[in-house]
C-alpha cells in the first residue's frame, strides 16, 4: 500500500519550484528590503554626485580651461552650470567662448573681433547704448557697457599690414601715418552687480583678453592686472561749478541751457584711459527737461574704435571715425565731432544732447513740431562750443597735436533781411 502524500499548506498553490522560491523569499525578506533600499540610495547618490561632477568639469574646461576659478565662482550664481562652447579661427583672427548655467543663461562670454565688418558692427551696437557707461581704472584701454559688458582694445601690432603692402602704398604715393593696431575683445558676465562681482568681472575681462591676444599671436604687451578691488568707474556727480578745472571743465565754463545752469556734472574720465564721458544733468524740473535729465554728453575716444559708432540714436549717420585722414570734424544740430592725434593714435571728441533733450514735452495727441531753423542754428552753436572747449582741454592735457574743430555754422537768413 502506497504512503499517503503530505497535504499542501493552504497557501501553497504554485509548482514545487515556485514554492521553494517563496520559502526562500519569506526567510530573506528583511535582507531583500535592505538590498533594494541600498540600490535606491546608490542611485540617488549617483545622481547627486553627477551634477557636481559636471559642474566642476565645465568650470574647469570652459574657455580652454583659462577661466580663473575664484573669479568665476564670484560672478556665477548657485545654479548649476549647463554647457560650454568655444571656437577659434587663427586665419580669421576670431575667438569666442561662452559658459551657460542649467537654465541657458550666460555666466560668462568672451569674443574677439579683428578689424573688419564684424568689429565695426559690434562698435556700432556699443555706440547705440551711449557708451561709456563706466570707464576702466589703471589706464585699461576700454570701457564697460551698462550691462556688465566690458570692451577692451589691446595693442595687436602683428595685425599691421605686411611690408609688401606698405611698399606698394608708398609707390602709389599713399599717405603714411604711424598707426597702432588694436584688437577688440568683449567679456560679458551677466550676473555682475555687487562691487565684488564687478571687481571679479574686470579681472576676468583683463585675464581673458590677455589669453586671446596670446592665442592670436598679437605680439603686444599684456594688459596689467587691475588693482585689488578695482571696479569700473561710473563717475561722480558734482555741482556744475565744481567741475571747473577738471577734465569736464567744458561743461562748467561754457554757456549751457537754463535746465543745466544749476545742474550737476558727472566726471567719468580715467587717467590714461582711452575713452571718457562727461554728463551735464538737470537737478530740478524745467519746462524743457525734467529732473535728472541728461542735458549734454561729452565723450572722448582714443584709438581706432571703428568708423560705425553711430550717433547714439540721434540720427542715421555714423560718426566720422574712419582711420587717419578719413576722420574729420562734423557738426549737426544733434552732435559735434572734433579730431586730433595723440601718440600715434587718432582721437575723437564728441558733444551731443542727452537722450531726452532737447525734446519738449507735449500733450498726448498733439502733433510733433520740428525745431525751427533758428533753433537748429542755436543748437549747432552750443554743441560746437562744447566740443571745442572739451577737445582743446583734452588735447592740452594729453600733449596731442593736429586738433581739427568743426566750422562755425552759418546763421540762417532772417525774414525781411537781405542775405
pLDDT of residue 168: 42
- Higher pLDDT: 219 or 325? It is 219
Measure the CA–CA gap between 157 and 140, rounded to whole angstroms.
17
Q: Shortest CA distance to 258 belongs to which of 292, 279, 284?
A: 284
C-alpha cell at 41: 540610495
The confidence score (pLDDT) of residue 228 equals: 92
- The pLDDT > 90 percentage for the chain reads 33
C-alpha 418/C-alpha 266 separation (Å) is: 44
Q: Which residue has the cell 552687480?
A: 193
* Residue in this structure with the C-alpha cell 572747449, named with its chain if needed: 389
By C-alpha distance, which of 105, 196, 189 is closest to 147? Answer: 189
pLDDT at 165 over 80: no
Tell me what the mean pLDDT of segment 333-359 comes to: 84
d(CA 15, CA 54): 50
Of 314 and 362, the structure prediction assigns the larger pLDDT to 362
Query: For residue 48, what pLDDT is reported?
Result: 46
- Of 291, 264, 261, give the one whose Cα is nearest residue 356: 291
**pLDDT on residue 5:** 53
Average pLDDT over residues 52-81: 87
Mean per-residue pLDDT for 400-410? 92
DSSP H or E segment with residue 266: strand 264-269
In angstroms, what CA-CA distances link 271 with 73, 198, 394? Answer: 31, 20, 11
Measured CA to CA in angstroms, residue 398 lies from 44, 153, 309, 327, 365 at distances of 65, 19, 23, 19, 50
Could you give the residue ranges of the DSSP H alpha helices within 77-174? 117-128, 163-171
Instruction: Place 309 in a pLDDT band, splitting at 50, 70 and 90.
Output: low
Q: CA-to-CA distance for 333 and 267, rounded, in angstroms?
A: 24
CA distance 362 to 356: 13
When mean pLDDT is compared over 75-84, 168-177, 242-251, the highest value belongs to: 242-251
**343 or 168, higher pLDDT:** 343
- For the stretch 249-275, pLDDT in tens is 999 999 999 889 999 999 998 766 678
Q: Cell digits for 48? A: 547627486
Q: What pLDDT, on the 0 to 100 scale, is given for residue 160?
A: 45
The mean-pLDDT minimum among 26-30, 185-189, 205-209, 253-257 falls in 26-30
Mean local confidence (pLDDT), 60-64: 90
Tell me: the pLDDT tens digits for 351-365? 988 877 876 555 556
Amino acid at each position: 500500500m502506497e504512503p499517503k502524500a503530505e497535504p499542501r499548506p493552504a497557501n501553497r498553490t504554485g509548482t514545487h519550484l515556485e514554492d521553494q522560491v517563496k520559502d526562500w523569499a519569506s526567510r530573506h525578506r528583511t535582507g531583500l528590503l535592505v538590498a533594494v533600499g541600498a540600490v535606491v540610495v546608490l542611485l540617488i547618490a549617483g545622481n547627486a554626485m553627477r551634477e557636481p561632477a559636471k559642474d566642476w568639469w565645465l568650470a574647469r574646461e570652459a574657455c580652454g580651461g583659462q577661466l580663473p576659478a575664484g573669479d568665476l565662482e564670484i560672478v556665477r550664481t548657485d545654479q548649476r552650470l549647463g554647457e560650454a562652447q568655444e571656437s577659434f579661427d587663427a586665419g580669421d583672427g576670431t575667438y569666442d567662448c561662452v559658459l551657460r548655467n542649467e537654465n541657458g543663461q550666460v555666466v560668462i562670454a568672451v569674443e574677439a573681433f579683428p578689424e573688419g565688418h564684424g568689429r565695426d558692427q559690434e562698435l556700432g551696437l556699443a555706440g547705440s547704448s551711449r557708451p561709456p557707461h563706466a570707464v576702466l581704472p589703471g589706464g585699461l584701454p576700454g570701457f564697460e557697457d551698462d550691462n556688465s559688458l566690458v570692451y577692451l582694445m589691446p595693442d595687436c601690432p602683428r595685425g599691421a599690414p605686411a611690408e609688401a603692402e606698405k611698399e606698394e602704398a608708398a609707390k602709389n604715393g599713399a599717405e603714411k601715418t604711424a598707426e597702432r593696431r588694436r584688437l577688440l575683445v568683449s567679456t560679458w558676465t551677466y550676473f555682475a552687480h555687487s562691487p565684488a562681482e564687478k571687481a571679479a568681472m574686470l579681472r576676468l575681462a583683463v585675464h581673458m583678453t590677455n589669453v586671446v591676444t596670446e592665442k592670436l599671436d598679437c605680439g603686444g604687451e599684456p594688459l596689467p592686472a587691475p588693482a585689488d578691488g578695482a571696479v569700473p568707474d561710473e563717475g561722480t556727480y558734482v555741482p556744475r561749478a565744481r567741475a571747473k578745472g577738471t577734465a569736464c571743465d567744458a561743461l562748467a565754463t561754457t554757456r549751457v541751457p537754463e535746465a543745466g545752469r544749476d545742474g550737476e556734472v558727472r566726471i567719468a574720465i580715467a587717467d590714461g584711459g582711452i575713452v571718457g564721458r562727461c554728463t551735464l544733468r538737470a537737478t530740478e524740473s524745467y519746462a524743457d527737461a525734467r529732473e535728472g535729465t541728461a542735458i549734454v554728453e561729452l565723450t572722448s575716444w582714443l584709438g581706432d574704435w571703428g568708423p560705425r559708432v553711430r550717433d547714439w540714436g540721434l540720427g542715421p549717420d555714423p560718426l566720422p571715425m574712419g582711420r587717419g585722414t578719413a576722420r574729420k570734424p562734423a557738426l549737426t544740430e544733434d552732435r559735434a565731432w572734433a579730431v586730433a592725434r595723440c601718440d600715434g593714435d587718432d582721437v575723437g571728441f564728441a558733444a551731443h544732447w542727452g537722450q531726452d533733450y532737447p525734446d519738449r514735452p507735449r500733450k498726448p495727441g498733439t502733433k510733433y513740431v520740428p525745431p525751427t531753423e533758428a533753433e537748429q542754428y542755436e543748437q549747432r552753436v552750443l554743441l560746437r562750443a562744447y566740443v571745442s572747449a572739451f577737445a582743446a582741454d583734452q588735447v592740452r592735457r594729453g600733449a596731442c597735436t593736429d586738433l581739427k574743430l568743426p566750422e562755425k555754422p552759418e546763421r540762417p537768413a532772417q525774414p525781411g533781411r537781405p542775405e
